[in-house]
Structure 1
């Protein structure tokens, strides 16, 4: 990822003795000389915690063939994307997709391997890099390696709770968020050269091509950087940095976007990713439920408390610019999560870098004798400081698979039975459609969807999607159509089923199987 090569020097030892051993250096804000004191005292990172937790989360991923049955609707569609692309289909055109082009290209690579384990490997890499840079940030702000260690554990626990099973695009965006936040921290301390903004722009492009909504960090940071450079009279540097960022951004956009251009899906990709994710709707029926879940998550995670403590900490004049960036980006993400008509708990993963950074930035500093700068107490306990509420999040980790097994066990069994029937009574190139809340039937039967929108739920909330599903099914390209009785049929779809399909008795109660006449 970006900037790793800059931080593998053995001189990065987090030691107060090194800080006191030399004369403090002062640099004029207008000089291009780097802050050597900041660079010499950057915290070292620990690989082992990130390695162990990334491995554990990747083993528990639904990309693990033994756990694929636990995949929810979005996860099953993400896995289906790799299967469909491996046989020649394109995202956005042949099937509806809300993640970025680069994310689907990762799924495509996994599909070429003819196993879902490829996604688990990519997820491991993403979580491993994210954990390393997260540890750097926590150690820098808290001035305590022990605090960084415990917060790293909580980061992975929260990812496991909000994104159980993995393969969400928001997880793959985490390393780019972490590296860019760390880049901004160093820049505001005059610890990086302006040329490094090329890598910063590359980060922005990569995250945009994976999980478009996370680009909000770079939008907010641009405004803060304008103020930062303006107050110091760095107008020429600001222009140079903007050009470097733009160069890095376009370098990736043009490279990855070439695939969308060749596949002639550029317009559809923009509509389904950028417009779909950035569009806001505060009038939906689910908005109160979304606000309730989001409010509860912020409360029990401690992020709500961290947010207000960070606001109060502005008076100490420490880390003003990075605090401003994180607070505004955090608020922007909240607005777009609430305004998203298709809320999913996995969207909360994108809040984790901000929430934990706000936990350590406003920590009370304790002045110690013979120290030029205050140290944060190493006795900081995130669980205790959050009134032990994060334990509720930990309870949610085993709750999801248990609920899936207990509440939807019969439905999962019926999906397996119908998928087996379809596989035995159709050719490999046959098309089917699952009027369902999961794409599992496609995966288990190894058959492609006849519709671009893979499942009826949760995509029936717009007139455009209803028209698209009706149009696709009325073309009668599906040899079999599976209907979940709990999901109401559209009138146009129901009429076509009665006219062109017949019901088969396969011994299922929750699902109906229709075969083309």
Structure 2
């Protein structure tokens, strides 16, 4: 089509106007898309497979000789999974704070092969988490070697903070990381609205494994809403909401069918959803010491440095929304860990991925700057992955190595000191197995479910162990009331665990003390 000189001039001016106002932005958008579409290289996938397999196998549910290293929460969770196969239900018969799907997965292991099943679930959880964490690390650093080392640090910290596994958050984390990666891409403008169905699906699945992931979903949902309003995407936001609801229904409808049929909806909501968000204390240690302990461990582990970088303005520029979301989630999980009034490291597992992402982003800025200053040496020294690991350790004064040594040293010490007690537990379990009938119940006043597990006997109280979820006075009273019913054929007492005078008097009045050869620490009572 021929144009007049005037039309050609108008077209040229229009094209120049486009190039001035939009062409540069469009080029940046296209190049940004290429950066953000991260594909994990095959070699790095092999690294993730190896680290996932190693972390998955170092579980007391997979390696029987590690069973005695389990803490109260781990051993009780495993026991609750066993009790599901015996007809006792979590939430209605047994007090539980994990998700419904979490206990179902544990129970499946006892129907088939617990060791192999748990190993498979652990591996898949760690592998998917590692894959999407790599994507997040690479997205913010644009350096594959930094992302690889950051992944390695994540697996090492997972072993340190959550040694032995079987924490619900470890199985829920893949869904959290998938959703975080989804949101990062959405805020970068490179994802379709229809994909919010998967976001809703992942959110529902995570909450059925670990209800405390609701914090992430709540904050991310509010962030999405504020972002859409600021971008004047109200109609899009409503459409995304419908997609989220659809994805959520796909999971909740299926699980809800079983929850309603088992008639555990009300206790499930009160125990797994309301209780963890209204009562944060897990232990009875001094609150200020607990706060100081978790802050020091988080700082020494490398999970706190990113907070300082955030306040210094290191996260300005692109992806401000995503960075603020990660910061806010990490901050809330850190506060919850500090309020636990307990000195166990697993409380920091919820903080781990978010705190580490912040730290890696903060360190990467100064790390890339240091590489630029020494660029003339790169041909000589190389730029290996170990260089960032060394940089990470130096910036933390090598404290992560100290945390690693102390944590496993403490684990070894506790295991060695508990050898005699665990031997007595096995002796007691052997004795009780020979004395119990198929319908008899027992209660073990101890900080380990080992006796329960080896006898496979049902507990007579809704709190299987007196050291888990009983810090709240009302829960302690419920446990006391259950034991005062005298439904236990045998009661095994660890004198090191404090017991009320009311329960001591009840034992003296309704039970006879039994002497078992080889048992000196524990007291065994049989109903009169």
The answer to whether the superposition gives a TM-score over 0.5 is yes
In structure 1, what is the equivalent of residue 462 of structure 2? 452
Query: Any idea what the Cα deviations from partners look like across 1:473-510, whole Å, max 9, x if unmatched?
Result: 22222111000101222233222211111001114232
How far residue 36 of structure 1 moved from its aligned partner, in angstroms, is: 5.0
Range moving further from structure 2, 218-227 or 269-278: 218-227
Contact 1:481/1:515 (8 A) holds in 2: yes
What SS does the aligned partner of 1:313 have? coil
Residue 482 in 1 paired to residue 492 in 2? yes
Range moving further from structure 2, 315-324 or 104-113: 315-324
In structure 2, what is the equivalent of residue 266 of structure 1? 265
1:509 to 512, 515, 520: 520
What SS does the aligned partner of 1:66 have? helix
In 1, Cα distance between equivalents of 2:500 and 2:237: 54
Contact 2:284/2:342 (8 A) holds in 1: no
In 1, Cα distance between equivalents of 2:465 and 2:50: 36
The structure-2 alpha-carbon separation of the partners of 1:71 and 1:428, relative to structure 1 and needing over 3 Å to count, comes to: farther
In structure 1, what is the equivalent of residue 88 of structure 2? 89
Contact 1:280/1:339 (8 A) holds in 2: no
In 2, Cα distance between equivalents of 1:289 and 1:169: 26
How far residue 285 of structure 1 moved from its aligned partner, in angstroms, is: 5.0
Q: How does 1:30-429 map to 2 (within 5 A)?
A: 37-41=31-35, 42-45=37-40, 46-64=44-62, 65-113=64-112, 115-280=114-279, 286-313=286-313, 316-340=316-340, 344-362=344-362, 363-364=364-365, 366=369, 379-380=387-388, 381-429=391-439
How far residue 54 of structure 1 moved from its aligned partner, in angstroms, is: 1.3
The structure-2 alpha-carbon separation of the partners of 1:239 and 1:178, relative to structure 1 and needing over 3 Å to count, comes to: same
What SS does the aligned partner of 1:67 have? helix
How far residue 130 of structure 1 moved from its aligned partner, in angstroms, is: 0.4
In 1, Cα distance between equivalents of 2:279 and 2:431: 42
Structure 2 gaps of 5+ residues are: 1-21, 373-382
Contact 1:278/1:336 (8 A) holds in 2: no
Contact 2:290/2:341 (8 A) holds in 1: no
TM-score of the pair, normalised by structure 1: 0.88
How far residue 445 of structure 1 moved from its aligned partner, in angstroms, is: 1.5
How far residue 284 of structure 1 moved from its aligned partner, in angstroms, is: 6.4
In structure 2, what is the equivalent of residue 497 of structure 1? 507
Range moving further from structure 2, 258-267 or 378-387: 378-387
Range moving further from structure 2, 235-244 or 274-283: 274-283
How far residue 168 of structure 1 moved from its aligned partner, in angstroms, is: 0.8
In 2, Cα distance between equivalents of 1:241 and 1:28: 27
In structure 2, what is the equivalent of residue 461 of structure 1? 471
TM-score of the pair, normalised by structure 2: 0.86
How far residue 330 of structure 1 moved from its aligned partner, in angstroms, is: 1.0
In 1, Cα distance between equivalents of 2:60 and 2:323: 36
The structure-2 alpha-carbon separation of the partners of 1:360 and 1:345, relative to structure 1 and needing over 3 Å to count, comes to: closer
- Matched length: 484
- Structure with bigger helix share is 2
Query: Any idea what the Cα deviations from partners look like across 1:82-137, whole Å, max 9, x if unmatched?
Result: 21111222111121111011111111111212534422321111001101111111
Contact 2:492/2:523 (8 A) holds in 1: yes
Q: CA RMSD in A?
A: 2.5
How far residue 511 of structure 1 moved from its aligned partner, in angstroms, is: 0.8
In 1, Cα distance between equivalents of 2:402 and 2:70: 22
In structure 2, what is the equivalent of residue 14 of structure 1? none
The structure-2 alpha-carbon separation of the partners of 1:206 and 1:343, relative to structure 1 and needing over 3 Å to count, comes to: farther
In 2, Cα distance between equivalents of 1:315 and 1:56: 34
